[in-house]
Amino acid sequence: MPYWFQSETATVEVGGRPMTLEAGKLAKQAAGSVVVTYGDTVVLVTATRAKPREGVNFFPLTVDFQEKTSAAGKIPGGFFKREGRLSDREVLVSRFIDRSIRPLFADGYRDETHIVATVLSADPDELCDIPAFIGASAALTLSPLPFLGPIAAVRVGRIDGSLVANPGYSQLPESDMDLIVAGSRAALVMVEGSANDVPESEVLDALKFAHAEIIRLLEPQEDLRRRIGKPKLEVAAAATDADLERRVREAAQARLEEAIRITSKGERYAALDAIEADVLERFTSEFRTQQVSFDSLEAVETRQRELRSLTSGVTNILHDLRAGLMRGMVISNGKRIDGRATTDIRPIACEVSVAPRAHGSGLFTRGETQAIVYTTLGSASDEQLIESLNERYYKNFMLHYNFPPFSVGEARFLRGPSRRDIGHGNLAERALRGVLPDHESFPYTIRIVSEVLESNGSSSMATVCGATLALLDSGVKIKAPVAGIAMGLIAEGDQIAILSDILGDEDHLGDMDFKVAGTRSGVTALQMDIKIRSVDWNVMAQALDQARAGRLHILDCMESETREVFGDLSPRSELSRYAPRVEVVFVNPDRIRDVIGPGGKVIRAIQETTDSKINIEDSGQVTIFAPDHDACARARRMVEELTQEAEIGRVYLAKVKRVTDFGAFAEIFPGTDGLIHISHLAEGRVDKVEDVCVEGDEVLAKCIDIDPSGRIRLSRKEALADAAARAAS
């Protein structure tokens, strides 16, 4: 084989299956390129960087995970037969890779960086997200990019009480836990997933199990790095101007100490902005008054760069000073910027039925974070069709999260849902999915929509709480109420402070964002991002315990705020009067054609007459959705009349359809006739059928027999005798 096609591989076993990393064969013009093979799943991951640009003061990282249907031998559904924008699942995988690797680039690195993970082959029983994650870390590790990895990720399930690494797709329904955990040798860096009311101690056991697997998954990456890793780019440490830092501190520190204690977010930000504007004006004015000779265009450009550098330097110093003051205040005296202690939860207010025509609605306010949440109940036709590489199915529970700019006092165009919106909505959906009633007993499609009205920390957890209120208000019989809380961390050397119910600033300037949702008995969903190199397991355990205490407090507040409506957070006894009604009827599968009619004529007529939707399954289950109880009852009666079957011993008011010498054929209900033999028309001898009945007469007739071929025998004589006996008694 030519040398330019030669590749290097490394293999490790995880979950009882080999995973192989190969570099040097595909996409060699990328800065880093790795192919990860796991079963029949093959994922190519590339890492590239753009040329450096001047003046970039943030890290422009983009991660794109893409599942091409060709990898699974499928053609995309719909009108356009090629892939379009990323699906929600692709966005979610892109997000968890991004959140894990972003903090691990060298300080000061500002080049635009792009990670692309492309599924080349999809094993139907193997999810592609974990191979994509490991490929991203390996591609960065082998590249010249200043990535401080490697890291790895593993999916953790628990089946029959045993923890399983990377369970197959077919095993997930049996698992009461689905966690994706990422980490380095030192510690975890990211956690995301759901659980079925699992106690915190068992969640911690799963995280420790995951970390042991992660350490094994680092070995093939380190092996490849030793063999073919490229030298890393050197990133110059940010130049520090000790004199400028001292002068900015003297000008701003006292005022910043006062400003960060302002409890109102808007007033605090206004004060901080005023301080920054004043300090910048002071230093830039001083810079502009300096006497400098501009004898060339190059001198002008140099002076402009110096001004930009000064502005950037002052802004960064103010940011670091503000962060240091906030963190120091928490560590030194346990007080936070809004005056709370580390375990305090902000004041909570709850309302329900705030949108009268909604099927259910809840308004949840916690401090300066507020969400109005709606529950809408729909029919089977409202289910969402999901086509993935692994399966095609209909989704009957959806939670959509919206974060409009006014929620943080900003003015900008409204666009479609961002990656953040999709991620936060998915977290809240995971938190609630496990407490919903079974679809068989509650055959509605449920859509929850959260509109964030104010945000100052953890609007996703406010969405979970508001969604619980909206579900209770709609009358959905959830198994238990769910609440959520966001935890933070301040770590300075050996000093640690764990913060309950963090503010936006505490998220931005802190070392951890740990969201935990659950019921009173256990965890239903969690998401964690770590911004420092390591977190001790004892700290993790303390954070989970503190989160549980905060969650129980929030549930207590929700209960006390709505006690007059829900008592102990129990759903309303009846669905909203505006919610559609549903009835389930089981009919003989052989009679389905009678409900549908030729070309669907009969079922369309029923739906148009009653303004209902009817879904028929091959098993004979007929589900009727109608706008109100009366319409639903009318549709049910029409279906039952079309599919009812004769019962031996039952008396019918039958209509004579045809008269013969040996008896009369009478219709007992539409589409079903029986024979009243002449001997069963009346007591005694009947010479002619016409002496008793003629075509068009209505007569009482009792079903006395149904032969194996379905022919029905009726008796007018016995029906009259039964009526006489009842009258005599």
The 10s digit of each residue's pLDDT in 315-352 is 888 998 999 999 999 998 888 988 899 999 999 999 99
Q: How far apart are CA 473 and CA 566, in angstroms?
A: 8
In this structure, the strands spanning 384-387 and 483-492 are: unpaired
Q: Indicate the Cα dihedral angle 683, 687, 689, 694, nearest 10°.
A: -100
Residue 292: the pLDDT is: 64
CA torsion through residues 402, 405, 407, 408, sign: positive
Write down the pLDDT at residue 389. 82
Which domains, and CATH codes, for the chain? Answer: 3-228 (3.30.230.70), 242-333 (1.10.10.400), 348-487+534-566 (3.30.230.70), 581-643 (3.30.1370.10), 651-728 (2.40.50.140)
CA dist 22 and 302 (Å) reads: 47
- Residue 508: the pLDDT is 87
Q: What is the CA radius of gyration of the chain?
A: 35
Count CA within 13 A, CB hemisphere, residue 611: 7
What is residue 293's predicted lDDT score, i.e. its pLDDT?
A: 64
Residues of the chain with pLDDT under 70: 1-5, 238-239, 291-295, 300
Helix (H) or strand (E) holding 666: strand 663-669
Cβ-based neighbours of 557, under 8 Å, separated by 6 or more: 345, 348, 350
Task: Report the C-alpha gap between 189 and 183 in whole angstroms.
Answer: 5
Q: Find residue 159's DSSP bridge partners.
A: 162
702-705-709-710 Cα dihedral, nearest 10 degrees: 30
- The partner residues of 374 in beta bridges, in order of sequence, read 361, 449
Q: Across-strand partners of 188? A: 183
Q: Which residues of 514-531 are buried (b: 16+ CB within 10 A; e: fewer)?
A: bbbbbbeebbbbbbbbbb
- Residue 513's beta-bridge partner residues? 488, 529
In the numeric block, which tokens belong to residue 110? 């500002």
CA distance 448 to 361: 9
Rounded Cα distance, 315 and 244, in Å: 11
In whole angstroms, give the CA distance from residue 316 to residue 39.
Answer: 48
Give the integer Cα–Cα distance in Å for 691 and 299. Answer: 123
Q: Report the alpha-carbon angle 630-634-636, nearest 5.
A: 115
Retrieve residue 404's tokens. Answer: 């409009």
- What CA–CA distance (Å, rounded) separates 519 from 502? 20
3 state DSSP class of 462: helix
| Cβ count near 270 (within 10 Å) | 13
- Could you give the strand order of the β-sheet that contains 581-586, starting from the edge strand earlier in sequence? 581-586, 621-626, 613-616
Output the pTM of the full model: 0.86
